[in-house]
Amino acid sequence: MIARERRKADAPDTAADTDAAGSARASDERMGRMDRVAILYGEITAATREFLRALTASDRHRDWAEAGFGSCAEWLAWRVGIGRNAANEKVRAARALERLPRISEAMELGELSFSKVRALTRVASPENEAELLELARAGSAAHLERVVRAWKTMDRKEEGRVERARHRARRLSVFPDDEGMYVIRGRLTPEVASVLMRAIEAASDALFREGAGGESERPEPKQLRADALGLLAERALAAGFGGDAPVSGSRAERYQVMLHVDGGTLREEGDPGVSELEDGTRVTAVTARRLSCDAGLVEMRRGDDGEILDIGRRSRTVPPAVRRALEARDRGCRFPGCGLRFTDAHHIVHWADGGETSLANTLLLCRAHHRRVHEDGWRVVSDRAGDKVAFFTPLGDALLDAGEAPELPGDPITTLVRRNRAREVTPDAWAATPEFNRDSDVPWSVEATAWDALERAEERLEGVGVT
C-alpha cells in the first residue's frame, strides 16, 4: 500500500543536520507541488460531478430542444466548445450516474476521476456498483478499462454451438407497407452485424449512441440508424460493385435513385407539380428542394401531351471543384456544434431560385441539419465570402457558430474551492490515488469479485429477456 504520511524535519543542530534539513525542505517543497496538482484535480473532479448533475437537470427538462438542437450532446458541444464525442460521453455518464449513488458519491468527493467514472458507467448497475467501485479504487484507470472491455467470456464449446445456431438463423427482407414506407426485417451473424454497425457508426460520425440529429424533436436511436443506413447505401452505390475492381461510373449509374420533379416544384414560390420516385412514391416539394441541392441533374423537355422531346446532358448541381473547395473551407457540417464529416452541399439561395453555385452561396450540412433547414423551417445566411454563417430558428432566434463564453469570477479557483466546501467536499492529495502502486499488485480477490458481480448482472438481464 502507498504510504500517505509526510516526513517532518527536526531543527538542525549541526552542519550535517543543516544539510539534512535543507534536503528535507526541498523534499517538502517537491511534495507540496505534487500535492497541489492532486488536490486541484480533486477539486475539479468534485466540481465535474456537480457539472454532470446540472447537465442531467437541463437534459431532463429538454432545454436543448427549446434552444433548437437535436440532442443534449449536440447542444453541449456547441455551448461549451468541446468535441461531439466528448459531449456524448459526458451526457451518457451524467445520465448513468443518476442511478449509481455509490459511484456518484465517490466522484463528488474527488475520489474517482471522470476517466474511471466513464468506464464504470458503461457496465455498472445499482446491484454491482459496490464491487466495481472497489476495483476502481484499487488500480489505475487503464486497468479498469481493460476489465470493462473484456469482462464477458464464454467457453469454446458453448461459443461453437451458439455460432452454428446464429449462422443458420441469418435472414433479411425488405418490403413496402401500406403507408408508403419500407420495412426491413432480418437477423445477421455477429461478424456481418459488426461490419454493418461499424459502417453505420462511420456514416453518422459515431453519434448514434447519444442521439445526434437535426429534427425539431429529439430523434430516437432507431430513427438515427435509419438515416445512417440511407447514407451508407448511397455511398456504397457511388463506389459500385464489381468484384475486386470498382464499378465504372456508367455501371454505377444503373443503381442510382431517380427523382422526377417539375422545375416549378423546385422553386420556392413555384406551384407544386410532379415530385416522385421512379416507383411512384410521392416526395414533398421541400424534400425535393433539399435532394436537388447536391445531386446529379438531367433536364427533360416534354410536349403538351407529356411526350419527352429532349433530354439534356447530366450535370452536377455542385461541381467537383466547388465541392473540394467546400470541404477545405468548412471541414464538415457548419451547423453550430455539429461538424459531421458526411455532408451535403446546401445552396443558401437555391439554384432553382437563381442562386449561384459558389463558395459564397453554398455550405456543408449533414443530412439531419440539411433537413432542418429545408423541411423544418430554419434559415441560414452568410457573409459575402461564406466564411461566417448564422442560423435562425423558425421563431427567428439567431444561432451563431459558437456559444457565448460564460463570465467567470475574478478568481475562479478560489470560487471553485469555496463551492466545494459549501457542499462539504474536501479532497486531499491522496483522494483519487489508487490503493496499489502497480496494477499487478491488485489482489485477485478484488478483481474476481468485480467479474463475479458483472456475471450476476448479466444473468439477471438474461432472466428478464434483455440482451
- Whether 54 has a pLDDT exceeding 80, the answer reads yes
What's the gap between Cα 344 and its chain centre?
19
Contacts made by residues 232-241, CB under 8 angstroms, sequence distance 24+: 232/199, 232/200, 232/203, 235/203
CA distances from 319 to 362, 423, 466 (A): 12, 59, 49
CB atoms within 10 A of CB 103: 26
How buried is 175 (Cβ within 10 angstroms: 0-12 exposed, 13-18 middle, 19+ buried)?
exposed
pLDDT at res. 313: 62
**What integer is the mean pLDDT of 219-236?**
74
The confidence band for 106, taking pLDDT boundaries of 50, 70 and 90, is very high
What's the gap between Cα 111 and its chain centre?
27
Share of the chain above pLDDT 70, in %: 73
C-alpha cell at 135: 476495483
Phi, psi of 22 (to 5 degrees): -65, -40
- Helix then strand then coil, in percent of the chain rounded to 5, is 50, 10, 40
Using CA atoms, how far apart are residues 109 and 314, in angstroms rounded to an integer? 65
> 82 or 306: whose pLDDT is higher?
82
> 173 or 260: whose pLDDT is higher?
173
Report which of 453, 460, 396, 457 is spatially closest to residue 132, judged by C-alpha positions. 453
The confidence band for 417, taking pLDDT boundaries of 50, 70 and 90, is confident
> 356 or 68: whose pLDDT is higher?
356
CB 399 within 8 A of CB 244: no
C-alpha cell at 91: 451526457
pLDDT at res. 341: 78
- Whether 225 has a pLDDT exceeding 80, the answer reads no
The confidence band for 213, taking pLDDT boundaries of 50, 70 and 90, is very low
- Whether 194 has a pLDDT exceeding 70, the answer reads no
Per domain, the residue ranges of the chain are: 15-60+99-153+413-463, 156-253, 259-399
pLDDT tens digits, one per residue of 330-376: 888 888 877 777 788 999 998 888 888 888 899 999 888 888 888 88
Cα torsion 439, 440, 443, 445 to 10°: value is 90
Using CA atoms, how far apart are residues 265 and 301, in angstroms rounded to an integer? 15
Q: Which of 46-55, 143-152, 432-441 has the lowest mean pLDDT?
A: 143-152
pLDDT tens digits, one per residue of 376-397: 888 898 877 767 888 888 888 8
The confidence band for 92, taking pLDDT boundaries of 50, 70 and 90, is very high
C-alpha cell at 83: 468535441
**What integer is the mean pLDDT of 241-262?**
51
Q: Which residue has the cell 464489381?
A: 242
pLDDT at res. 10: 45
Report which of 200, 201, 197, 209 is spatially closest to residue 95, judged by C-alpha positions. 209
CB atoms within 10 A of CB 382: 17
The confidence band for 105, taking pLDDT boundaries of 50, 70 and 90, is very high
**What integer is the mean pLDDT of 104-122?**
91
Using CA atoms, how far apart are residues 339 and 217, in angstroms rounded to an integer? 20
Q: Kindly report the average pLDDT of the chain as a whole number.
A: 76
Q: Coil, strand, or helix at residue 357?
A: coil
CA distances from 212 to 84, 121, 228, 340, 424 (A): 9, 20, 11, 10, 37
